Amino acid sequence: MSLFNGLFSFWSQDIGIDLGTANTLVYVHGKGITINEPSIVAVNQKTGKILAIGSQARAMVGRTPGYIVVTRPLVNGVVSDFEVTEQMLKYFIDKVHQDRFALLPRPRVVIGVPSGVTEVEKRAVEDATYSAGAREVYLIEEPMAAAIGSRLPVQDAVPNVIIDIGGGTTEVAVISMGGVIASRSLRIAGDKLTDDILKHMRQERNLLIGEATAESLKINLGSAYPLDEEMEGRVRGRDLVSGLPKETSVSSVELRTAMQRSIKSIVLAIKNTIEETPPELTADLVNRQIYLAGGGSLLRGLDELITHETKLSVKIVDDPLTAVARGCGFVLEHLDELAPVLLTTQTDNYFQ
């Protein structure tokens, strides 16, 4: 068996995967992040055949006949369609190895999962990754991976508060001595904020806009905290009264109102997690920072709002979009040293 492992190791490149609801990032040992593509798959429902994955599938959105469905195989950070997730993972694994002439790549994989996942959900990710061609699969909680990727001292006896706001989930965790002391996994994140804007425009403005337009509004005009200079922009959609195309103005104030309830839920999860932290560690937080990672952390004023609500200093980590993937890669490169931070499943424990 060790001979086969040696051969697989020679032909394969070990990888770390941030398997996100919106995007999948792949870290390759020795190379860094080489893939950053949407977690989207285009399926021909007549034949069941997968037509495109990632960026190619996203390009098909809104441009295909009814029998071709563009879908996301992950919902709120967990597998909702096992077979499609397996094919998507296989596509990314093969893409990593396309220049190595590996007929059967069998890499070791470290993959991030939300902190609130059940045993069944953990097994689904493991099984899909094995079926996609991995020879060894290691799971790590996304906030732990984000903290490691941000080079926080997770193994020291100090509290590290990390908030990872992705597409499907917001992960809040207090980490100390290589373990999660308190955590929350909230199924409100970037996609929910986009949906809030979409629904607001439909209900309050009688304007039907697409998901891509709502996402663009969130990025260009969205904010979580009052701005020094509020902004205005234009938005185009279909008037639900006349059925005709319409263009209108929209302000950052209006969009902030649209997202207000979801943002409050995120802030409440942060406060509740800190309240669950043991007093000795809470006292240490006064002199430390809260760290924000994930694409959602880039929402204007979110760091200011969290500072206002918690009275603690808040810092957005360097390159927040890639923090989880970088953390998975770092763990991959230091497996022996960082093995304690990895998750186990009931099946793992059964065979030990």
Q: Both tokens of residue 45?
A: 């429902």
Question: What is the DSSP annotation of 107-126?
Answer: -EEEEEE-TT--HHHHHHHH
Give the orientation angle of helix 323-333 with respect to helix 142-149, to 10 degrees.
80
CA 195 to CA 185: how far, in whole Å? 19
- 227 token code pair: 């701005």
Contacts of 311 by beta carbon, 8 Å cutoff, 6+ apart = none
The answer to whether 297 touches 263, Cβ cutoff 8 Å, is no
Binding site listing for ATP: 21-23, 167-169, 215-218, 295-298
H or E element that contains 28: strand 23-28
Residue 235's φ and ψ, nearest 5 degrees, are -135, 140
Binding-site annotation: residue ranges: 21-23, 167-169, 215-218, 295-298
Residues 166 and 137 sit within 8 Å (Cβ to Cβ): no
